[in-house]
Amino acid sequence: MLSYLALRHLHITCVVITATLFIARGVLTLRGCDWKSRWPVLRWLPHANDTLLLAAAIGLALTTGQYPLAQGWLTVKVLGLIAYIVLGTLALKRARTPRGRLAAFIAALAVLAYVVLVAIMRSATLGLL
């Protein structure tokens, strides 16, 4: 079993990769590029990385004994993740117009930034309240 530090570093690395891949796919989508055909790796790599990210998150939860619903900041982080997934789906394929894709892309990035700040600060309010 991986140590806490190894799991933490793996989790953070996967978050950076997730954000980078989402930004790349979002920009390509907004520019009208057919990236799904041109770069098939951009179709499967995010799923593989996100699976590893989830595994690391579960490992961290088990290692530290901190679980969603028991820890407020972690609950908000999971809810933010769900919002990010929904917005990301809209940004990359489900929104009907380029304007809708752009709005969903910006919103997904804002939610992702919030989730990262919640994780860093371990506070749902980011220390503002």
Tens of pLDDT, residues 102-125:
999 999 999 999 999 999 999 999
Is 52 within a domain? yes
Which positions ≥6 away from 30 have C-beta within 8 Å? 98, 101, 102, 105
Whole-number Å distance between alpha carbons of 69 and 59: 17
pTM for the full predicted model = 0.94
Helix residue ranges per DSSP H, the chain: 4-30, 35-38, 41-64, 72-89, 98-121
Is 31 within a domain? yes
Residue 58 is part of which domain span?
Answer: 4-121
Is 126 within a domain? no
* Residue 32 host element (H or E): none
Q: How many domains does the chain have?
A: 1
Q: What is the reported pLDDT for 96?
A: 95
Token reading at 30:
């907004």
Q: What is the reported pLDDT for 112?
A: 98
